[in-house]
Chain A
Amino acid sequence: MLRKLIDSVGPQFEAFKSQDEGLGVTETDKNIDVSVWRGGPDGGSFQRFEVPKQDNQTILDVVAWIQQNDDPTLSYRFACRVGMCGSCAMMVNGNPRWTCRTHVNKVLKNDRLEIAPLRNLPVIKDLAADMDPFFDKWREAGGVFHPTKSRNDPVEEISPLEEERQNANAGIECINCGVCYAACDVVAGNPDYLGPAALNRAWTLLNDTRDCGSQSILAAVSRGGGCHNCHSMGNCAHLCPNELSPMTSIAGLKRVTALSFLRPGN
């Protein structure tokens, strides 16, 4: 019963179950047994590869090694290779992660890895997911600056010590990698849910004193798929590689939307 309940929370990738996050011992001249998901929008399956272990090796390096040395048809995506662009996220041993900055030792269990495309998004091919729905929701959540001034005005003076600015700064360094989106079971269960990253962005905008779109943002995050669907399960904050807490931002949205509903004058 419990098992079923836990499973029923959302459809899952059949993931290799590992809870060990500790840094393992480095042993070279060993191979890693890697299962890589292959397929497209219509489904697929895991394929196994042997990859030589190296001292310094990220998950992205493992994937690239396979494509460059074993199977040239393997598809995946990356750009910056250093944790800035958010292009390279994949499911690694069941957890969504930025692969370019995940050292193999951090996730390796019994010399095994399982790598799959990011959860909760359509697959293009193999490890490359289609991120459009993620960005569509970013936009739906009101995620664009609404200006009041122009390029001919001086830069506004805003103290970084102001509370609102601090709220905004706390969430602003999001690289839209989609890790939180893949980690959230509400997204899995509710395809309309805007998701942690989009809502986090909405919260930073709401706290930006230069932005004049508060009303439209509040309306956008209060609709059917809005912030009120979040159960504060915290997978987003737990796994965000930049240590942001979309959960906290969403709680902020809940608070502000509720207050503005109860006190419409404000």
Chain B
Amino acid sequence: MIRPHRSHPLWLAFILHRISGLALALFLPVHFWVLSLMLTDRERLDGFLLLTENAVVKLAELGLVFLLAVHIFGGLRLLAMEFLPWTSRQKTAAAAAIGVSILISGTFLLQAI
């Protein structure tokens, strides 16, 4: 599925970063909207928050935190690569970023259950 010139870890890191960024940008307004219910409609908010007990919602939430983790670590990797002159280990960094994000979201999952 991935075109041949892209089949390497750095490109994978790039596309993960892009997809996670995009997904976050789409999620964030929803998140803001939910919170602003606080002002207008406390009942609905509580109803909504109750839903977090619901497995589906939980899964969605988990996905978003996962995305956030992926994006942050991908972003930090980039920032490190661009601003710190130790540059030759990007591949390892890319892998590590994914690893750490899985770890974080895993912790989240365990805690939440």
Binding site for B on A (CB under 8 A): 2-3, 5-6, 9, 12, 15, 17-19, 93-96, 183, 185, 231-235, 237-239, 247-248, 251-252, 254-255, 258
A234 CA to B78 CA in the complex, in Å? 12
Report Cα–Cα, A76/B14, bound state, in Å.
34
CA distance A234 to B74 in the complex (A): 14
Taking a contact as CB atoms closer than 8 A, the residue among A19, A94, A254 that contacts B82 in the complex is A254
Contact B4 A17 (CB under 8 A): yes
Inter-chain contact A233/B14, CB cutoff 8 Å: yes
What's the count of A-B pairs with C-beta under 8 Å? 75
Please provide the 4 A-B residue pairs with the shortest distance between their CB atoms, ordered closest to farther.
A234-B10, A233-B14, A94-B4, A238-B8
Pair B11/A238 contact, Cβ less than 8 Å: yes
A2 touching B8, Cβ below 8 Å? no
- Which residues of chain B have a CB within 8 Å of any CB of chain A? 1-8, 10-11, 14-15, 17-19, 22, 78, 81-83, 85, 87-88, 90
Q: Is the interface of A mostly helix, strand, loop or mixed?
A: helix
Task: Please name all residues of chain A whose beta carbon is closer than 8 Å to the beta carbon of B17 when the two chains form the complex.
Answer: 231
Contacts of B7 in A (CB 8 A): 19
B83 and A233 contact, CB distance less than 8 A: no
Cβ contact within 8 Å between B5 and A183 = yes
> When the two chains form their complex, are residues A248 and B87 in contact, meaning their CB atoms are under 8 A apart?
yes
Could you tell me the distance in whole angstroms from the C-beta of B26 to the nearest C-beta in chain A?
12
Give me 21 A-to-B residue pairs in the complex whose CB atoms sit less than 8 angstroms apart, sorted by A's number: A2-B19, A6-B2, A6-B15, A9-B15, A19-B7, A93-B4, A94-B3, A94-B5, A185-B6, A232-B10, A232-B78, A232-B90, A233-B11, A233-B14, A234-B11, A235-B5, A235-B8, A235-B11, A238-B8, A239-B5, A248-B87
Known: A232-B78, A251-B82. A3 touches B11 (CB 8 A): no
Residues of A within 8 A of B18 (CB): 5, 9, 231
Chain B minimum-CB-distance residue to A179: B5
The residue that B10 contacts in the complex, of A19, A96, A233, A254, with Cβ under 8 A, is A233
Contact B82 A234 (CB under 8 A): no
Q: How far is the CA of A156 from the CA of B90 in the complex (A)?
A: 35
Q: For B4, give its contact among A2, A15, A251, A255 (CB under 8 Å).
A: A15
**CB–CB A95/B8 < 8 A:** no
> Which residues of chain B are within 8 angstroms of A237 by Cβ–Cβ distance?
10
Q: Which residues of B contact A9 (CB under 8 A)?
A: 15, 18
- CA distance in complex: A8, B14 (Å): 14
Of all chain B residues, the one with the shortest Cβ separation from A93 is B4
Question: What would 11 more interface pairs be, CB under 8 Å, given A232-B78, A255-B82, A255-B83?
Answer: A5-B15, A17-B1, A95-B4, A95-B5, A185-B6, A232-B90, A233-B6, A235-B11, A237-B10, A247-B90, A251-B87
